[in-house]
A and B are shown apart, each in its own frame.
Chain A
Amino acid sequence: MRLILKMTAVSVKMFMRQKEAVLWSILLPLFMVFLFSFVSFDGLGTISLGIVNHSSDTTLVGFLQPIKTLKIFEGEEEQELTRLREGDRALVLIIPASFQSAGTDSLTLYLNAERPQETQAGRVIVQRAVDEMVFRRHSVPRPTLRTESINSRNLSYIDFLLPGILAMSIMNSGIFGVAFGFVILKKRGILRRLLVTPINPRDFIISQVISRLMVLMLQVVIMVVAGMMLFELHFAGSLLDMLIVGVLGGIVFLAIGFTLSGVSKSEDQVAPLANVITLPMMFLSGIFFSRSNLPGIAHTITDFFPLTYLADGLRTIAIEGATLGDIWQQVLGLAVWAVVTIALAVKAFRWE
């Protein structure tokens, strides 16, 4: 026991002295959050509308222009239709030469068939602008719609992103750290050197796992604290719950790391394997963007990714202040993964 504690302390010390490792696991995630905090996603929700006005009446255009959801381009008919075909416009509105705001001449609206969601919304908006024009002219009495937005916590993209990045860095330091670390220990003969001492090899593994989990907990605390101080993270949950879920996820990814180090002989073999496992999860587990846009089957498959469980769990705690009971599905998912991956690691791990 004393030896395990001692080796754990030594491992943490070695980790802290490895500047690259500290950089990767603690500063890099923060830096990514920092970078993404500058990214504006306002442009993502807009609908591009080309307007070709053959008339001299600009009333309708005047009604359309202030609508924020629309990104309006005015141009020649041929040019705008080309843009539509090339996919640069969701809709193109043609206003005929004879158009008058008081008249009844038809307008033509071309829709980009490949962007049904945008064109549907754009069509309603254009129709609404036409109606508004008519209402204004006739001063038709009508009920008004008073809107009020309720979003007491005013969540931002950072609130979504930060727990995701945290989950991702837990995955990366678990898988890459252990897989590379142990392949190097094996290749350089350090494990063999330990095997001629009377230590129980299992104690060494345990100390490695504990020290890595301690670093992981440090990652969680630093991310949450730095998020609140630097990025206005709205952290509503319990830090302890974050740590528990983080450690559970960490165990899964450490076990994957041990498995990979068991099946590979050199760093060259570890790298592609680790990438094959981590890259799809990084992009499909809802780290940077919500998974809600994934098509049905992909959504169902990614539901079961360990990184999805971890990211969703951490995020729900952070944003909604959920307790472990509230996210029992994620906790259960990670626990099942932990059992599976530990079994794999025990089977695959080799000392030499």
Chain B
Amino acid sequence: MSTVLEVQNLTKRYGDLVAVNGVSFSVNRQEIFGILGPNGAGKTSTLEMIETLRPIDSGTVMLDGLDVTKHPQKVKRIIGVQLQASAFFDKLSLTELLLLFGEMYSRQVDPLALLNEVELKDKAKSYVTDLSGGQKQRFSIAAALVNDPVILFLDEPTTGLDPQARRHLWGVIKRIRSEGKTVVLTTHYMEEAEELCERVAIMDNGKIIANAPPQELVQQLIGKGFKKERVERLASLEDVFLDLTGHSLRADQ
């Protein structure tokens, strides 16, 4: 397995606060890599430095063989980014927005194919303001795919979505990976990380405190003698909710 992203000793300071403190990790090609952690752990700052949005105070980021500090323009061409608050211009249809983003990469894009990828083909003529939360997030993934990126960065893609929309988005992300892309995402949801990620890095106070496949981390914990106090239930409230309201996406999703 080849490494596509190599982060070493990445550091970011805001005044006295060290938001990212010597973070190192690597991501393999065609992997879904999760960065977990509580709010303020430094996940977004880490991503933004890799994405060229924030100057790197110290450390290096090599992305598909390119040094992010030295070649930010080249890096921008091979990454796809979904920001936490991804907003788009009003009064442009999804098709027009994708064409415009394509222009920014000097690319002719096929908007319908991209929308099809995220299951929004029937919304091609809608404005972003007319989309539901889940649709907005899926559109913002489509917009991140216009340049056929090597790596896709998703910052909390499912925050604020209902269970169906979340599951739908998981499906989209898995399919994108199966088509050869590498995905790096941040999340607050552990079941999301377990469901999607080959490997996760857990961040706290600007440091990575664990970095392994989810199952391995769980085994390590069990190995330390950890036992959940309650017996595992056969179903959870979320299962009830999904059973009652339908597993699959409803028309308005």
Within B136-154, the residues touching A (CB, 8 Å) are 143, 147
Using an 8 Å CB-CB cutoff, how does the interface string of A189-207 with B read, 1 for contact, 0 for none? 1101111111100000000
Q: Which residue of A lies closest to B52 (CB)?
A: A196
For the complex, give the distance between the alpha carbons of A7 and B101 in Å: 10
Contact of B83 among A2, A17, A193, A198 (CB under 8 A): A193
Min CB gap A26→B, angstroms = 16
What is the CA–CA distance of A2 and B92 in the complex, to the nearest angstrom?
A: 19
Q: Which residues of chain A in 85-117 are interfacial with respect to chain B, using CB atoms and an 8 Å cutoff?
A: none
Q: How far is the CA of A285 from the CA of B140 in the complex (A)?
A: 47
B96 at the interface (CB under 8 A from A): yes
Which one, B77, B91, B92, B143, contacts A198 given CB within 8 A? B77
Instruction: Provide the bound-state CA to CA distance between A236 and B182, in Å.
Output: 66
Is B86 at the interface (CB under 8 A from chain A)? yes
Q: Which of B53, B89, B92 contacts A196 (CB 8 A)?
A: B53
B131 to chain A, nearest CB (A): 15
A188→B51 CA distance, assembly (Å): 18
Contacting A at CB under 8 A, from B28-65, are 51-53
Instruction: Identify 22 residue pairs between A and B in the complex whose beta-carbon atoms are under 8 Å apart, listed by A's number.
Output: A2-B103, A6-B100, A10-B89, A10-B92, A13-B91, A13-B96, A17-B91, A188-B85, A188-B87, A189-B84, A189-B87, A192-B53, A192-B83, A193-B83, A193-B88, A194-B104, A196-B51, A197-B101, A198-B73, A198-B76, A198-B104, A198-B105
- Chain B contact surface mostly: loop
Cβ contact within 8 Å between B90 and A14: yes
The 3 closest A-B pairs by CB, nearest first: A188-B87, A17-B91, A197-B104
Contact present for A195 and B100 (CB under 8 Å): no
Residue among A2, A7, A192, A194 with the highest chain B CB neighbour number at 10 A: A192
Given known A-B contacts A6-B103, A7-B100, A196 and B81 have beta carbons under 8 A apart: yes
| A266 → chain B closest CB, angstroms | 15
How close is B141's CB to chain A, nearest CB, in angstroms?
13
A14 touches which one: B86, B91, B105 (CB < 8 A)?
Answer: B91
Partner-B contacts on A (CB < 8 A)? 2-3, 6-7, 10, 13-14, 17-18, 188-190, 192-199
Q: A193-B88, A197-B76, A198-B105 given. 9 additional CB < 8 A pairs?
A: A2-B103, A3-B103, A3-B104, A13-B96, A14-B91, A188-B85, A189-B87, A192-B53, A198-B77
Is residue B2 within 8 Å, beta carbon to beta carbon, of the partner chain? no
> Nearest Cβ distance between residue B200 and chain A, in whole angstroms?
24
A188: nearest chain-B partner, CB-CB? B87
B120 lies within 8 A of chain A by Cβ: no
Q: How many A-B residue contacts, CB cutoff 8 Å?
A: 62
User: Min CB distance, A184 to chain B, in Å?
Assistant: 9
A190 touches B87 (CB 8 A): yes
On chain B, the number of residues with a Cβ less than 8 Å from chain A's Cβ atoms is 27
Question: Residues of A contacting B85 with CB < 8 Å?
Answer: 188-189
Q: Flag whether B106 is at the interface (Cβ < 8 A).
A: yes
User: Is B79 interfacial (CB 8 A cutoff)?
Assistant: yes
Distance in angstroms between the alpha carbons of A194 and B91 in the assembled complex: 17
Which B residues touch A193, using CB under 8 A? Answer: 81, 83, 86-88, 143
A190, B88: Cβ atoms closer than 8 Å: yes
Also in contact, A189 and B86, with CB within 8 A (given A6-B100, A197-B105, A198-B104): yes
Give A189 to B156 CA distance when docked, in angstroms.
Answer: 15
Please name all residues of chain A whose beta carbon is closer than 8 Å to the beta carbon of B87 when the two chains form the complex. Answer: 188-190, 193
In the bound complex, what is the Cα–Cα distance between A251 and B11 (angstroms)? 42
Knowing A195-B53, A197-B105, A198-B105 touch, does A18 contact B90 (C-beta < 8 A)? yes
Contact indicator A196/B103 (Cβ below 8 Å): no
User: Are B92 and A13 closer than 8 Å at their CB atoms?
Assistant: yes
Contact across chains for A196 and B83 when beta carbons are under 8 A apart: yes
Q: Which residue of B lies closest to A191 (CB)?
A: B87
Nearest chain A CB to B164's CB is how many angstroms away?
26
Q: How far is the CA of A13 from the CA of B52 in the complex (A)?
A: 30
- Measured CA separation A197–B104 after assembly (Å): 7
Residues on B with beta carbons closer than 8 Å to the beta carbon of A195: 52-53
**B92–A190 CB distance below 8 A:** no
Q: How far is the CA of A3 from the CA of B96 in the complex (A)?
A: 14
Chain B residue nearest to A189 in the complex (CB): B85
Asked if residues B52 and A190 are in contact (CB atoms below 8 Å), the reply is: no
Q: Check B89 against A190 for contact (C-beta < 8 Å).
A: yes
In the complex, A320→B85 CA distance in Å? 54
How many angstroms between the C-alpha atoms of A195 and B83 in the bound complex?
11
Q: Are B103 and A7 in contact (CB under 8 A)?
A: yes
A14 CA to B97 CA in the complex, in Å? 11
**Chain A residues near B52 (CB-CB < 8 A):** 195-196
Q: How far is the CA of A196 from the CA of B53 in the complex (A)?
A: 7
Pairwise interchain contact A14-B100, C-beta atoms closer than 8 A: no
Question: B residues within 8 A CB of A188?
Answer: 85, 87
For window 179-219 of chain B, which residues contact chain A by CB distance below 8 Å? none
Q: Is the CB of A14 within 8 A of B89?
A: yes
Give min CB distance, B138 to chain A, whole Å: 16
By a CB distance below 8 angstroms, the chain A residues around B103 are 2-3, 6-7
In the assembled complex, the Cα of A192 lies from the Cα of B73 at a distance in Å of 15
Whether A18 pairs with B91 at a CB distance below 8 angstroms is: yes
Residue on A with the closest CB to B101?
A197
